[in-house]
Amino acid sequence: MSAPHTLGAFVEGIGLRGPGLPDWPAGARMLRGMDPWTVAPTVIPALQCLPSAERRRTGITVRLALSVGLEALAQAGADAATLPAVFTSSGGDGQNCHEICEVLTSVDRQLSPTRFHNSVHNAASGYWGIATGATRASNALCAHDASFAAGLLEAVTQVVVDNTPVLLVAYDAAYPEPMRTVRPIPDAFAVALLLAPEVTARSLARLALCLSEEPATVLGDAGLEQLRGAIPAARSLPLLLQLASLTAAHLRLDYLAQRRLAVEVSPCR
């Protein structure tokens, strides 16, 4: 049987926010077992990169997505204005959607324009352009629980086809009730990867992607495994664990019902 076709890219920078994971340096130490990881509410910093009027309009998901994107670029020393980007989320801004539904079921059904423009799935990518001056193409994807794998596959495909670095940002946030009953995402989680077509002095590891029928990789730590299953963007945790430890590995990420996204991690350091 012939080997599966693969797509490859190099990881240049990483951003992270999640429960008990305040940023990539601290998160990497926890994933390596150097520091203990404990569940704590995700802390999302205020954004100083947006004009004050835009800062007042942003919701949790926008702040979450931009914070990890900026962290990944700072680590890589990259210029956002020159980079295409892929934003992926399983559901966008659930809090904003909830508040729109509340208005539409009230007596006064006047809907704020801010609520409307924050409801579109590419809101985070739009604010990214405002915040960073980025003018390259930006895609916004959604694939339910497979949104991280779909975004990673899209971003690496762009790296290979266009021979250019691409920023991937995956993010999810908690839904309020009553939507939380049917979509019980417990907290916010986001990850950003700056992916490049060629190895450089900043390269952390090479990723080679293909499809697989093998089961998805699970984590040995029960708490982190619960987090992986609870938040779609946290399906990235097996990959983040390998990037934190910079060890070679073959892992599989949740993707389609009968297919997983296999990722071969080869450290550059």
Evaluate whether residue 106 is within a structural domain. Answer: yes
What is the reported pLDDT for 1?
Answer: 34
Identify which has the larger pLDDT, 233 or 133: 233
CA dihedral (52, 69, 225, 158) in degrees, to 10, reads 140
Evaluate whether residue 145 is within a structural domain. Answer: yes
Question: Predicted confidence band at 104 (pLDDT cuts at 50, 70, 90)?
Answer: confident
Question: Predicted confidence band at 117 (pLDDT cuts at 50, 70, 90)?
Answer: low
Evaluate whether residue 214 is within a structural domain. Answer: no
Evaluate whether residue 191 is within a structural domain. Answer: yes
Evaluate whether residue 141 is within a structural domain. Answer: yes
Question: What global pTM score does this model have?
Answer: 0.93
Evaluate whether residue 81 is within a structural domain. Answer: yes
Kindly report the CATH number assigned to the domain that includes residue 99. Answer: 3.40.47.10
What's the pLDDT tens digit per position in 182-218?
A: 999 999 999 999 999 999 999 999 999 999 999 999 9
Question: Predicted confidence band at 66 (pLDDT cuts at 50, 70, 90)?
Answer: very high
What's the pLDDT tens digit per position in 127-173?
A: 898 888 888 999 999 999 999 999 999 999 999 999 999 999 999 99
Evaluate whether residue 186 is within a structural domain. Answer: yes
Q: Which long-range contacts (CB under 8 A, 24 or more apart) does 132-138 make?
A: 132/49, 132/70, 132/80, 132/81, 133/80, 133/81, 134/80, 134/81, 134/82, 134/83, 134/85, 135/81, 136/81, 136/82, 136/83, 136/84, 136/85, 137/84, 137/85, 138/84, 138/85, 138/86, 138/87
Evaluate whether residue 121 is within a structural domain. Answer: yes
Identify which has the larger pLDDT, 158 or 3: 158
- Residue 23: give the domain boundaries: 11-202
Cβ atoms within 10 Å of 264's Cβ, excluding its own:
17
Total number of domains in the chain: 1
Percent of the chain with pLDDT over 90: 69
Distance in angstroms (rounded) separating the CA atoms of residues 24 and 83 = 21
**5, amino acid identity:** H
Question: Predicted confidence band at 49 (pLDDT cuts at 50, 70, 90)?
Answer: confident
What's the pLDDT tens digit per position in 38-48?
A: 999 999 888 77
Residue corresponding to tokens 């991280």: 148
